Chain A
Amino acid sequence: MVAQGIPEIGAYIAFLFVSTVALVIVLRLFITPKDPRPTPEKKKPFESGQIAAGPGRTRFIIQYYPYLLMFVVYDVVAMFLFAWGLNLRALGASGSVPVLVFIVVLLIPLGYALHLANHRENW
């Protein structure tokens, strides 16, 4: 029964999406007021009352980049464990040995990567 419940959640999300978008469109067209002659200042980005300076999409925070790299690798690894955890009772201790070796082998580079990532002055 892999497909159990999939049509229901699909119908539910589709209903939510259509009703929410319809609500936004109705509000936009019929309820919210419109300014026929907006001043230029009204459309400016908000910077606590200062005049906005420079580009809005700036470059930012490179020093946390190694965490992103680690996330790309170890998030996928964590997914592998779900197949093992689901069948743990059937596998038992003997069937779990390859998975435990897999975890230990992955923890060593994780520790080294964390050691490098936590030294943010290097990035």
Chain B
Amino acid sequence: MLTTGRTGRSLYWGLAPVLGPLQPLVDMLTSPLFLQIVLFPGLTSIAIIGALLGWLERKVTARVQLRIGPLYASPAGGILQMFADLIKLAFKELIVPENSDAFFFIMAPTTGLVLGAALVGLIPFAPGLQIANIEVGLPAFLAIITLSPTLILLAGWSANSKFPFIGGLRALFQQTAYEIPLWLSALGVIMMAGTMNLAQIVAAQSTGWFIIPQALGAFIFLVTSVAEMERLPFDLPEAESEIMMGWQAEYPGVLFLAAQGPGFVKLYAFSALFTTIFLGGFLGPSFLPPLFWMLSKTLTVIVLIMLLRSTFPRVRLDQLLRAGWTTLLTLAIINIGITYILVVGLPTL
């Protein structure tokens, strides 16, 4: 029922032929799931946080390099710089290079943006504040992210240009180096928690965060997730100074935005996942809401990864492949051995 009271009732009966068929639509638009999908942690918040992370990255890098960074588009410290860039890029011409596969050229970065945003839907931000509480949440997250090098290769192939194609192939080879250590470091968490559900993994950390028994696993996860996000020091597919942005070289205007955007969305999603499986997620002292703890821990991880970007030089592809297949894989197997001893040898932990 929409209203009560005399005038309200007459208004309702007057509008009934209109509102009656629309009632399911109104119910859907006000349901918790729809609000979560559209507002938080869904689409709108992801877009705003992604733009703010672009600003934060420029500011952090500038601070490390003793510069000032974005300053003018502001109420405070150039915080609206990325929104100004968004508007500028939207009004640029879309040039599709000749002999390219236009459909895949446009759809590959767009789908990458969708996949990056889909990751956020698996993360529990607070008790009940989670779009999809999947039973296999952790492997589902890693499985969705596995598709992204394929999309990069598709983008590089469809552009029919040399540097994008080299960047796409680099993404493919790079995936072979980090993928298995990434999954094996997540396996340590699953062995400790005895579940793959992200909300239950958070609940299992109420006696202690997993970063203490899983310190080695957390280190491997951080390194491999930076490689997965293709950020410095592992940004081989888009190395600006060697292959001039790699697979993004041919993207104009708003498509360049769609190609750059997944980087920041994946940074947000991976930091939230790291917080969830190693840093106790939304757990924390109860004088502040769980969402505050979740977001502040996530922001800490994000700033740590941004500092890696401005601190380390880029590695070569053969160095990355060799390190991934020997050092990181060996460490991941050692981590599984340690976790096995912890779980089977000390069952009370």
Residues of A within 8 A of B (CB): 1-2, 4-6, 8-9, 11-13, 15-17, 19-21, 24, 27-28, 31-35, 38, 42-48, 52, 54, 56-58, 60-61, 64, 67-68, 70-71, 74-75, 78-79, 81-82, 85-89, 92-93, 96, 103, 107, 114, 117-118, 120
Contact = CB atoms under 8 A, between A and B. Distances in A.
26 contacts: A8-B33, A8-B132, A12-B131, A13-B118, A13-B121, A20-B113, A31-B91, A43-B95, A43-B96, A45-B250, A46-B249, A46-B250, A52-B162, A56-B159, A57-B160, A61-B317, A78-B180, A78-B187, A85-B187, A85-B191, A86-B191, A86-B196, A87-B194, A88-B344, A89-B347, A114-B325
A94 to B, nearest CB: 10
A61 B99 contact: no
Given A24-B106, A24-B110, A56-B162, A88 B194 contact: yes
Chain A interface mostly helix, strand, loop or mixed? helix
A9 B22 CA distance: 25
Nearest to B98: A43
Interface in B55-84: none
Given A45-B97, A82-B187, A13 B134 contact: no
A65 B183 CA distance: 22
Contacts of B310: none
B244 A48 contact: yes
B224 to A, nearest CB: 13
A8 B113 contact: no
A88 B191 contact: yes
Given A43-B95, A64-B317, 9 more contacts: A9-B134, A11-B33, A16-B114, A43-B96, A57-B165, A61-B173, A67-B325, A68-B176, A81-B336
Task: Report the contact-size class of chain B (Cβ under 8 Å from the partner).
Answer: 35 or more
B254 interface: yes
Contacts of A75: 179-180, 183
Contacts of B305: none
B91 A45 contact: no
Interface of B: 33, 37-38, 42-43, 90-99, 106, 110-111, 113-114, 117-118, 121-122, 131-135, 137, 139-140, 157, 159-163, 165-166, 169, 172-173, 175-177, 179-180, 183-184, 187-188, 190-191, 194-196, 244, 249-250, 253-254, 258, 317-318, 321-322, 325-326, 333, 336, 340, 343-344, 347
A92 B96 CA distance: 58
B165 A56 contact: yes
B121 A9 contact: yes
B93 A35 contact: yes
A28 B122 CA distance: 31
A32 B92 contact: yes
